[in-house]
């Protein structure tokens, strides 16, 4: 079962892909760059402004499925300049205040439309996240 997730509160896809796909309790987002959902234009030259816009776009996708950042279990951040890592990390931390998801950060040569950052996420909803039974805990 696959449901295409789309919202006007996040930028429209700029290619042959969906903003996100929901499959049962899992939500997989496409990578989001700092596009203004109203204009489709890249916002700001500043990594802080771009990071906030990306996270707001991801928030809109989550809201479209009645989810929030507490449902996110994994993110991948793509940066064109790893020197921006600390600034991104500080802003990212304001969106993921408690129980942050697993995360990877990757340095890349370039991103669409000259963006400095792109983030994709995986979220889980319902019993799969909080109410389900724990199969095994190896945390010791």
Task: Walk me through the domains of the chain, giving residue ranges and CATH numbers.
Answer: 3-128 (3.30.1330.40)
Residue 82's closest CA among 53, 47, 57?
47
Instruction: Give the number of other Cβ atoms within 10 Å of residue 56's Cβ.
Output: 17
Q: Is the confidence at residue 33, as pLDDT, over 50?
A: yes
Under the banding of pLDDT at 50, 70 and 90, the label for residue 135 is very low
pLDDT score recorded for residue 138: 41
Lowest model confidence (mean pLDDT) among 7-11, 71-75, 97-101, 125-129: 125-129
pLDDT score recorded for residue 14: 84
Considering the chain, what percentage of its residues have pLDDT values greater than 90?
86
Q: Is the confidence at residue 139, as pLDDT, over 90?
A: no
Q: Is the confidence at residue 136, as pLDDT, over 80?
A: no
Please state the pTM of the whole predicted model. Answer: 0.90
Q: Quote the Cα angle for 63-65-67, to 5°.
A: 60
């Amino acid at each position: 079962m696959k449901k295409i997730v789309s919202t006007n509160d996040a930028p429209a896809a700029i290619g042959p892909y969906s903003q996100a796909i929901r499959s049962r309790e899992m939500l997989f987002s496409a990578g989001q760059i700092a596009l203004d959902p109203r204009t489709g234009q890249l916002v700001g030259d500043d990594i802080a402004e771009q990071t906030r816009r990306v996270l707001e776009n991801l928030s809109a996708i989550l809201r479209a499925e009645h989810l929030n950042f507490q449902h996110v279990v994994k993110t991948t951040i793509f940066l064109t300049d790893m020197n921006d890592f600390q600034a991104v990390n500080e802003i990212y931390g304001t969106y993921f205040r408690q129980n942050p998801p697993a995360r990877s950060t990757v340095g890349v040569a370039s991103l669409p439309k000259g963006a400095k950052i792109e983030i994709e996420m995986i979220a889980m909803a319902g019993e799969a996240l909080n109410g389900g039974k724990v199969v095994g805990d190896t945390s010791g």
